[in-house]
A and B are shown apart, each in its own frame.
Chain A
C-alpha cells in the first residue's frame, strides 16, 4: 500500500518513494526518517515571498555519520531522489531550512555536531556540520581557551559550516568565512569521501593549516553549489587580542556615505582597521535600538525621510552608523586610535563607545566584533511586524561613488512597492556587500506579492548596471544565476554532470541542475 503524500520529488511515483523511504529507515532507524507532515514543519520555508508549496519537502532525514550518508546516497542514486543538505538550517532570509525545489528530501545534519579538535597553538578547529557557534563559544569558554572566531549576526542559532558553505560573513578580522576555512571533508554523490587540500594525503597533519594542497584547489566548488555534502570543516580561530577597542562613528547626513567610504577604505586595505567595517543606515539601526516603525509612521508607502529624521533625533541614531574595531596591544591601539579620531573629525563623524551609549544595537554589534554570539539583530523583524524578510545583497567596489548610486537605486525601487530602505554596507577588503533587508508582512498576501515583485525588479535593475549578488534567497537562485551569463552556467552544468550524474544533490541550488 502506498501512502498519500503532499509533496513528492519531481517525477517520482508514490510507490517508488515509499520503497526508498523504507530503505532509508533501515539505514537510519525509523525515528530519523520523517515523513509525517506535522514533524516536517521545521523544514517548511519561512520568509520567502513565494507559495509554501514551491519549497515543500517530501521528507527529512537526520543521519549521524559519514557512513550513514554514504549508504543514504546509494539509495537515493538508485531511486534518483534528490536530497537537500542543511547543517544547522538557519539560513533565514536566504532560504531557511526548506529545500530549493518542492519534494526534495531535506538531509538535516544537526546530529553530526562534534567539535572534533581545537588546536590552541595553531589556533584551528575542525568541526562537523551540526556544530553551532554557541556550542563552539561555550566549548572555548569552558576550556578557557583565549581564542575567538568570527560569526554572522544570528550566530547563537546558526553554525560555522553551513554559514561557510553559503559564503557567509562575520565581523572580526576573520569575517570572510570561506577565506578562513581550511580543509573540508566532502561526501560526493557516488559516496566517495574527498578531503580537500592536505587532507587527501595519508598521515598528513597539515590539513587545517595549509588550504591549497597540490594541484587545483577544490574547496571553492563546494560552496554555493551542490557538488557534494560537506561533513567536516577546518576553520581558523583568532587569538584573543590583548586590547580590543570597538567603536561606532555616527554621521548626520545620508550623503555622508560617500566620504565615509573614501576615508575608511585606505584604513581597511592597510589593515589599520582589520575587520569588515559596517556602515548601517538609520533604519537598520532603529529596529535593533529598538524603535518601532508604527510609533512614527502608519501611513501608506515607504516611511518618509521626515519620520526617519524624527527617529534619529529621538533615539540618537546617525543617518549612517559605522561599526569597526581595533585589535592589538594597548600601544598599537593607542596609536591607531589617533588615526580613527582624526578620520572621524575630518569627516564630520561623532565617535560613540560603550561608555557613552545605551543602545542595544551598539551592544550586539560590539559583541559580534569579538565573535560573541547573540541574537540582537533579530530586532529587524519587529520593524514592520509580520516577520517577512528577504536579503537583497549586491556587491560593489569599495568606492564612495558607488554607495550613493546603489542606495538611490534601491530606495527608489523599494519605495515604488511601499517598502523601506533598511540597508547596510559591509566593507570587505576592496569590495562592499550592500545588504538590504526587504522587510514585509508575510501574513499579508498583497505585501508578500509585492515583496516578490520588488526583489525581482531590484535584481534585474542592479544586474543591468553590472551589480551581481554575493548570495541570494533560494526562491531567486535561478534568476540570480542567470545574471552571471551562460558560459559560467554551462561549466557548472558540466561539473554537475561529471560529479552527480543522477542530479540527486540539491538540484537547483544556486541555479545548478541537469
Chain B
C-alpha cells in the first residue's frame, strides 16, 4: 500500500489512523524518529489551534505516541531565535505545528534551512458551521480536501496525524470540549503540518 492509497482510503473511510496496515505503511514512509516524542507546537491566542492541539494530544495518547506540547505566541513564532530553539528540541525527531499561515511558513522555512522536510501539511478554513481541510503530502499528486462539522473538526485530522506517525490503532479518548470562540465569529484560517527534523 503506498502513501497515496493510504491517505485516500483513510479519508474516504473516515477512520483515519485506525487501520493497522495503513499505520505500518505510514510508519515506513514517515517514521524517521519514532522512538522520540513528537513535539506539538501550537500557536496561543487561536482557539481553533488550541482545540486541535488538545485533540491531537488525546488521540496520540490513545494511540501510544509519545508527545511534548508547547504553546507559543505569534510574536515568538515570528522570531528567528525562538523558532530555532523549538526546532533544537527535537533533532532527528518529528514536529507537528498548528499555527496561522505566517507562522507556518516561517516555521517550515526555518526547518528546511536545516534540511528538515515538511512531509504533510494541511490548510484548515473555518466557516460558521464547518471546517474545510486541504491536505497535501509528499508524493501525493493532488491535495485531499474534506469538510467536517465544527464541533468535531479536529477529530479526523488528529487521527490522520496519528496514523501517519504509525500510532497503534486503538479507540481514542472522548472528544475535547469545544473551546469557547471556536467556530464563532469571522472565518479563520489555520495550517497544521508534520516535519521530520
Q: Which of A146-195 contact B (CB under 8 A)?
A: 156-157
Whether B78 sits at the interface, judged by CB under 8 Å, is yes
Chain B residues near A39: list those with CB within 8 A: 115, 117
B70 at the interface (CB under 8 A from A): no
A418 located at the interface, meaning its Cβ lies under 8 Å from any Cβ of chain B in the complex: no
CA distance A88 to B80 in the complex (A): 15
**A295 near B: Cβ within 8 Å?**
yes
Q: Which residues of B (165-197) have their CB < 8 Å from a CB of A?
A: 186-189, 191, 196
The tally of residues in B whose CB lies under 8 Å from a CB in A reads 37
Q: Determine the residue in chain A with the shortest Cβ distance to B116.
A: A42
Residues of A within 8 A of B15 (CB): none
What residues on A are CB-neighbors of B112 within 8 Å? 41-42, 89, 97
Which of B6-14, B54-62, B101-109, B152-160 lies at the binding interface?
Answer: B101-109
A38-B196, A157-B80 known; A298-B187 Cβ under 8 A: yes
A89 to B108, CA, bound (A): 12
B residues near A38, Cβ cutoff 8 Å: 29-30, 117, 119, 138-139, 196
Which positions 36-64 of chain A face chain B at CB distance < 8 Å?
37-42, 44, 46, 53, 62
Asked if B100 is at the interface (CB within 8 A of a chain A CB), the reply is: yes
The answer to whether B147 has its CB under 8 Å from any CB of chain A is: no
Bound CA span A378–B80, Å: 12
- Asked if A92 and B105 sit within 8 Å, CB to CB, the answer is yes
A347 sits at the interface (CB 8 A): no
Given A38-B196, A156-B80, does the pair A379, B102 have CB atoms closer than 8 Å?
yes
In contact, A387 and B125 (Cβ under 8 angstroms): no
A290 vs B45: C-alpha distance when bound (angstroms)? 13
- Summarize A's interface: helix, strand, loop or mixed: loop
Residue of B nearest to A133 (CB): B80
Asked if A443 is at the interface of the complex by the 8 Å CB criterion, the answer is yes
- Contact mask A359-397 → B, CB, 8 Å, 1/0? 000000000000001111011111011110000000000
Closest to A287 in B: B102
Q: Is A90 engaged at the interface, CB distance under 8 Å to the other chain? A: yes
A313 within 8 A of B: no
Q: For residue B79, which residues in chain A have a CB less than 8 angstroms away from its CB?
A: 375
Q: Which residues of A contact B117 (CB under 8 A)?
A: 38-42
What are 14 of the A-B contact pairs (CB < 8 Å)?
A37-B138, A41-B118, A44-B138, A157-B80, A157-B106, A157-B109, A375-B78, A378-B105, A381-B100, A382-B102, A386-B101, A387-B104, A387-B123, A441-B123
Closest 7 CB pairs of A and B: A385-B189, A443-B134, A42-B112, A443-B123, A41-B117, A156-B80, A294-B186
- Chain A residues within CB distance 8 Å of chain B: 6, 37-42, 44, 46, 53, 62, 88-90, 92, 97, 110, 132, 134, 156-157, 290, 292, 294-295, 298, 373-376, 378-382, 384-387, 441-444
Which B residues have a C-beta under 8 Å from some C-beta of A? 29-30, 74, 78-80, 100-106, 109-113, 115-119, 123, 125, 134, 138-139, 141, 143, 145, 186-189, 191, 196
